[in-house]
Amino acid sequence: MASLKELSKRTEGLVGGHRACAGCAASTAIRQILLAAGDKPTVTGICTGCMEVVTTIFPYTAWNVNLVHNAFENSAATVSGMEAAYRALKRKGKIDAEIQFIAFGGDGGTYDIGLQSLSGAIERRHKMLYVCYDNEAYMNTGYQRSSATPYCAHTTTSPAGTKIPGKPQKRKDLTEIIIAHDPAYAAQATPGYYMDLIRKVEKALAADGPSFINVLSPCVPGWGYPLNQTMNISKLAVETLFWPIYEWQDGKYKINMKPREPKPLVDFLKLQARFRHLLKPGNEHLLEELQAEVNRRWEVLLRKEQATNG
Amino acid sequence: MKTIAKTGNEAMAYAMKQINPDVVAAYPITPATEIVQIFSNYVADGEVDTEFVAVESEHSALSACVGASIAGGRVMTSTSSQGLALMHEILYIAAGNRLPIVIALVNRSLSAPINIHCDHSDTMGSREAGWMQLYCANSQEAYDSLIIALKVAEQTAVPAIVSTDAFIISHAMERLEVLEDEEVQRFIGEYKPRFSALDLENPKTFGPLDLQDYFFEHKRAQIDDFSKVLGTYNKVAQEYAELSGRYYPALEEYKTDDADVAIFTAGSTADTAKEVVDGLREQGRKVGLVRMRMWRPLPVEEIKAALGKFKAVAVMDRSDTMADFGGPVFLETRGILYDAKKKPLLTDYVYGLGGRNIDISDILRVYDEIEQVAKQGKIDKLITYLGVRGEE
Ligand SMILES: Cc1ncc(C[n+]2csc(CCOP(=O)(O)OP(=O)(O)O)c2C)c(N)n1
């Protein structure tokens, strides 16, 4: 794995000057991912969403690598096509470089509207890494719920009101859906644990086939926390078991960080405006439900790890 | 030159084989399914060295084509009806990014009610997407047009749809003359993309966000280039005629020189109408036919000049606009003729929706009526829904 020192010498794939919000985790994650990929030529694609919008305002671009934006739901399909063309052109001797492909999408473009195109691309086994930067809502259109939005989170289309306390449904477990596709590699990560993320990108790109990394990416305006807390919140998500960082390869699970003493979930929730209503008197049962759900999922994950490594 | 028997679908697949594109990404839909089915056999047998991407939807088919084309590949796909509708969003993106993708399309009506037979509502619904549109009258033409369209598309950076009529052309066996593989390859030449996302020396951002300060200029430039397609088409069609002996003007006129009246139509109906014209000519009736082959971009001057000769013209539309003012061909033709010095009386016949048969007697009736219009010097009925039960 590349050391921090080596990474610091690489050319940045995503440079400053873009218009992401201060404290944006997604832009940090993409920067880290492109650094991790940076020892080989890399060509990328992206869904419509915050990261595309803030980095590509014509005539400027923050990308030092080729980037293709097609539409909201199809970066997986678009990059499939690029990878197919690459194979054809290579076979015909028109290209000789070894190129690796990365597709990016937000949780909306990945869990929801783009799930089909991602599923198709993995099933066809295009050799590419798909990265979902998961900020748990549609941020580009002003913070609406997605199927990645957690239970009870307030969003503009799942508002916390007097009758309904935020999003009534649990989040979709996309990572497990992708694992069911039997990809070459799949993982969950977050830029808070950046060396873990870097290592996973290297593994994913080295894997022989389609790979997937789901990157939890806290969002300052959406989640409503102080902008200097992004990395802290990224870590808290892991330390409270809200977002386990783990990987899956060849049928085996590996949990990369097992807090000896997991922090209570409320430590993660209380920093964020989207969960503020949960702290009000009378909502204790919701907090309990949320904690129980996190514990249940963690147990399931532990059992999966045990069962597949036994 | 070989003579073979092929259906429209086989002819399109055969042209695709001879073109040997870098990437074909496609999804099956009746009645275009055969095209990719046949093509995937060429792939399986190593007769082409195309990457065939059997995607999970038409939306992804065209999305993958966009990716492949931006990556510098020569790219084709095939679809019909709902498939084209599902591609609709990406049609604009392909055109806006100036990607010379070619779709072998079989015209079929759009749901609902679901129907698998021919009308032109699918391509007519996509006519503002920035794609060249060619409507073919038979299998021979479908084969030839696919080759011509690819070359025009690559020269102009405008994507192209070449269409045939569902089942009438797609599944009917015809006598066909085909070129040798090498002749096709020589004609289309090596594809040299203007840019490529696989060009590592000059990384670029493709498909960026374009706000109020640039979007309009970029669109205007696209529109400007689009209007040059006709000129390029005329040149390429001429070159193709020299190679094959078959010449396809953007707008075809049949026995129009001294005609008083004409039918203006597209697709397979034009071939049926030619039969009718021949019969009526034997009776000494001065009738002709104008066939719309290229519909996007619109050959405005050609249409003006062709139709300006007649006393009366019956436009035949195989789709409707739901504007309560006739079909798209009628509306646009009226628009074109508005400031023409010489213009005919113009009526519209919406016909054949959902594959309703159009036969010689229907077309005879249209000629009878349009002659009547010419004689009277006035129109009694502007729009007729031809042969609809309960209508007349
Ligand atoms: C077909 C289509 N529907 C809706 C939109 C509007 N839209 C653009 S981005 C976006 C949300 C993106 O959310 P997500 O994928 O989570 O990425 P984020 O903005 O959070 O980075 C939506 C709904 C669109 N561009 N295309």
What distance in Å separates residue A130's CA from the closest CA in chain B?
15
> Does the beta-carbon distance from B93 to A71 stay under 8 Å?
yes
Question: Which residues on neighbouring strands pair with residue A133, listed in sequence order?
Answer: A106, A215
Count CB-CB contacts under 10 A for residue A192.
Answer: 25
The pLDDT value given to residue A159: 98
Confidence band, pLDDT 50/70/90 cuts, at residue B1: confident
Same domain for B290 and B216?
no
Given a contact cutoff of 8 angstroms between Cβ atoms, the answer to whether A254 and A199 are in contact is no
Distance CA A287, CA A291 (A): 6
d(CA A26, CA A148) in angstroms, rounded, equals 15
pLDDT tens digits, A85-140: 999 999 999 999 999 999 999 999 999 999 999 999 999 999 999 999 999 999 99
Backbone angles phi, psi at B79, to 5 degrees: -165, -170
Chain B residues inside the 8 Å CB shell of A57: 208-209, 211
In this structure, the number of other CB atoms found within 10 A of the CB of residue B47 comes to 14
CATH of the domain at B300: 3.40.50.920
Is residue B264 domain-shared with residue B302, that is, in the same domain? yes
Q: What is the pLDDT of residue A310?
A: 80
Claim to verify: residue B190 and residue B263 sit in the same structural domain: no
- Across the interface, do B67 and A79 touch by the CB < 8 Å criterion? yes
User: What share of chain B has pLDDT > 70, as a percent?
Assistant: 100
- Contact list, B69 vs chain A (CB under 8 Å): 81, 85
SS3 A105: strand
- Report yes or no on B28 lying in a domain: yes
Q: In the sheet where A67-69 sits, what is the strand order? A: A252-255, A246-249, A185-189, A211-216, A129-134, A100-106, A42-46, A67-69, B205-206
Answer for the pair A211, A185: CB distance below 8 angstroms, yes or no.
yes
Helices (H), B157-263: 181-188, 215-227, 229-244
Distance B349 CA to ligand 1 centre (A): 43
Using DSSP's 3-state secondary structure scheme, residue A250 falls into coil
- A-chain residues within 8 Å CB-CB of B65? 81
| Cβ contact, residue pair A77, B67, below 8 Å | yes
B182 shares its domain with B297: no
B71: containing domain? 2-244
User: Furthest-apart CA pair in chain A: how many Å?
Assistant: 69
Whether the pLDDT of residue A74 is over 80: the answer is yes
Q: Are residues B21 and B58 in the same domain?
A: yes
Same domain, yes or no: B218 and B263: no
B332 pLDDT more than 90: yes
- Residue to mutate among A11, A65, A82, A116, with most B CBs inside 10 A, is A82
Domain shared by B239 and B270, yes or no: no
Say whether B200 and A78 touch across the interface (CB within 8 A): no
Same domain for B196 and B219, yes or no, is yes
Assess whether B48 and B155 both reside in one domain: yes
Rounded CA-CA distance B189/B192 in Å is 9
**Peptide bond before B112: cis, by omega within 30 degrees of 0?**
yes
**What's the mean per-residue pLDDT of chain A?**
97
Same domain, B205 and B292: no
Phi then psi for residue B265, to 5 deg, are -150, 180
Which residue in B53, B90, B211 is closest to A84 by CB distance? B53
Domain that holds residue A287: 4-309
pLDDT band with cut points at 50, 70 and 90 for residue A39: confident
Question: What is the pTM for the complete model shown?
Answer: 0.98
A64 neighbourhood in chain B, CB within 8 Å: 203
**pLDDT for the residue B189:** 98
Domain total in chain A: 1
Residue B141 lies in a domain: yes
Across the interface, of A61, A85, A92, the residue whose CB is closest to B49 is: A92
Adjacent-strand bridge partners of B378: none
Task: Assess if residue B391 is contained within a domain.
Answer: no
Quick one: B278 and B163 in the same domain?
Answer: no
Residue A138 is part of a domain; what is its CATH number? 3.40.50.970
Among residues B244, B264, B293, the one where a domain terminates is: B244
Task: Return mean pLDDT, chain B.
Answer: 97
Q: Percent of chain B at pLDDT above 90?
A: 99
Model confidence at B178: pLDDT above 90: yes
- In angstroms, the Cα distances linking B305 to B186, B265, B295, B337 are 35, 16, 16, 9
Closest CB to A65 among B70, B203, B208? B203
Model pLDDT, residue A210: 98
CA angle B378, B384, B388 (to 5 degrees): 155
What is the band of B188 on the pLDDT scale with cuts at 50, 70, 90? very high
Distance from CA of B181 to the nearest CA of A (A): 17
Question: Does any domain span residue B392?
Answer: no
Q: Would you say residue B36 has pLDDT above 80?
A: yes
Q: For A59, which residue in chain B has the nearest alpha carbon?
A: B210
Residue B77 located in a structural domain: yes
pLDDT over 70, % of chain A: 100
Q: Which residues of B touch A55 (CB under 8 A)?
A: 205
Could you give the angle at which helices B229-244 and B215-227 cross, rounded to 10 degrees?
30
* Ligand 1 center–CA B28 separation, angstroms: 28
Report residue B359 as tokens: 């036969």
For ligand 1, atom 17, which residue shows the shortest CA distance?
A106
The closest CB to that of A63, out of B71, B73, B205, belongs to B205
**Structural domain ending residue among the three candidates B175, B209, B244:** B244
Q: How far is the CA of B95 from the centre of ligand 1 (A)?
A: 22
Beta-bridge partners for A115: none
Residue B385 has pLDDT above 80, yes or no: yes
Answer yes or no: is pLDDT of B392 > 80: no
In a shared domain, residues B93 and B209? yes
Q: For residue A57, give the nearest of B23, B60, B208 by CB distance.
A: B208
Q: Given CB atoms, is B207 within the 8 Å cutoff of chain A?
A: yes
B84 is a domain residue: yes
Phi-psi map region of B157: left, alpha, beta (phi>0 left; psi -120 to 50 alpha): left
Contact B66 A81 (CB under 8 A): yes
Q: Closest residue (by CA) to atom 20 of ligand 1?
A: A139
| Binary contact (B214, A74; C-beta < 8 A) | no
Most A CBs within 10 Å: which of B63, B66, B86, B216, as the mutation test of the A interface? Answer: B63
CB contact under 8 Å between B206 and A67, yes or no, is yes
Residue after which a domain boundary falls, among B196, B226, B244: B244
**Mean of pLDDT values over B60-64:** 98
> Structural domain tally of chain B?
2
Least CA distance to A85: which residue of chain B?
Answer: B68
pLDDT of residue B391: 84
Q: What is the 3-state secondary structure (H, E, C) of B246-315?
A: CCCCCEEEECCCCCCEEEEEECHHHHHHHHHHHHHHHCCCCEEEEEECEEECCCHHHHHHHHCCCCEEEE
CA of B51 to the centre of ligand 1 (A): 30
* A240 has pLDDT over 90: yes
